[in-house]
Amino acid sequence: MNIGIIGAGKVGVSVGRYLKDNNIQISGFYDINSDNAAFAAQFTQTDCFSDLEELVKVSDTLFITTPDNVIGSVWDCIIKNNMSVQNKIVCHFSGALSSDVFTDSQSTGAGVCSIHPMLAFSDKLTSYRIPANTFFAVEGDETAVSAVKSLFESLGNTVCRIDRSKKPLYHTAASVLSNELVALLDMGYSLLEQCGFSRDDAVKATQNLVSGNVKSVLENGCVNALTGPVERNDLQTVKKHVNSLEGEDRQIYILLAKRLVKIAKAKNEDRDYLKLTELLDSLL
C-alpha cells in the first residue's frame, strides 16, 4: 500500500505521521495551500506534490483529509480531469459523510470507503500520537473496507464496519459524547460562577467529581455509575434544582433529568418513579 494524502490539515498531518511512524508507505501530500503541503511533507518526512494528478498517479491508495465540504469537489476534480483511479482505493475521513460522496465510483474502477477515528485532532504537532486502542468506524465498498480495516487493525486499532445509511447518526453520537459534553460542563461551571467561583476555581473544584464519574461510566456502565437525586427519587431536591434555574439552563436540566429517570428505572427496578416523571413532564 502506497498512500497519497490530499489535505494537509490537522487530520491529514496527524494520520500521515501516525502511519509513517509505523512504517506504512506514504507517497506524500497535496494541498491547495502549498505551504501546508510543504509543512506536512517535512513533518512526516515524505514528499510534497504541487500537482494533484502526479500524487494520484504514484499512489495506489488516496486518503482525502480535507474539510467535509471539499471532499466532493476533490473527487469531482479527479474524475473531471480524467485522473485514473482504476483499481485504487479512495477513502475520506469525514465522520458525517458516507462514501456516497464519491458519486459514480463504480464507473471509475476505484474502491471507495470512509473511515473515522473516535478521536479529537487538536493540532498538527501532537495529535499524531494516536493511541493503539483508538476506535475507527468504516463503511463503503467491500474491497476498500477490507484493505483500510486491515491497515488500521495491523496497528492495533479497533475497526468496526457500520452501515453507510447510519453515518449521520454515528457522527451525532460522537458529537454528543465529545462536543456536547463540553457544553454541559460549561453549563455546570457557569452555575458555579453564579455562586461566586472563578472559572478556574470551578474547574479545579469539580475535577475529581467530573473525572470520577466519567471513569465510573467507562468501567461500570451508565446504569451502575448513576447516583444523585433523580436516582434516589428525591422529588424535593429535584424541585429545588429546577427552581434555582432559569431559561435554557432550566430546560436542559429537566430534559436531562427525564433521561436520568430512564437510567434510574433500569438500576432500581423495584422503585416507583411515576411522581418524579409526572413532575418533570409538568415542568416542560
Write the CATH number for 76: 3.40.50.720
CB 112 within 8 A of CB 144: yes
Q: Are residues 9 and 133 in the same domain?
A: yes
- Report yes or no on 171 lying in a domain: no
**Co-location of 29 and 125 in the same domain:** yes
Q: From first to last of the 284 residues of the chain, give the pLDDT tens digit.
A: 899 999 999 999 999 999 999 999 999 999 999 999 999 999 999 999 999 999 999 999 999 999 999 999 999 999 999 999 999 999 999 999 999 999 999 999 999 999 999 988 888 888 888 888 899 999 999 999 999 999 999 999 999 999 999 999 999 999 999 999 999 999 999 999 999 999 999 999 999 999 999 999 999 999 999 999 999 999 999 999 999 999 999 999 999 999 999 999 999 999 999 999 999 999 98
> 96 and 62: one domain?
yes
Q: How far apart are CA 197 and CA 207, in angstroms?
A: 14
Q: Domain of 83?
A: 3-166
Domain co-membership, 229 together with 252: yes
For 98, the grid coordinates are 458516507
The answer on 148 and 96 residing in a single domain is yes
Is 82 within a domain? yes
Overall number of domains in the chain? 2
CA dihedral 63, 67, 70, 74 (to 10 degrees): -20
* Nearby residues of 35 by Cβ (< 8 Å), 6 or more positions away: none
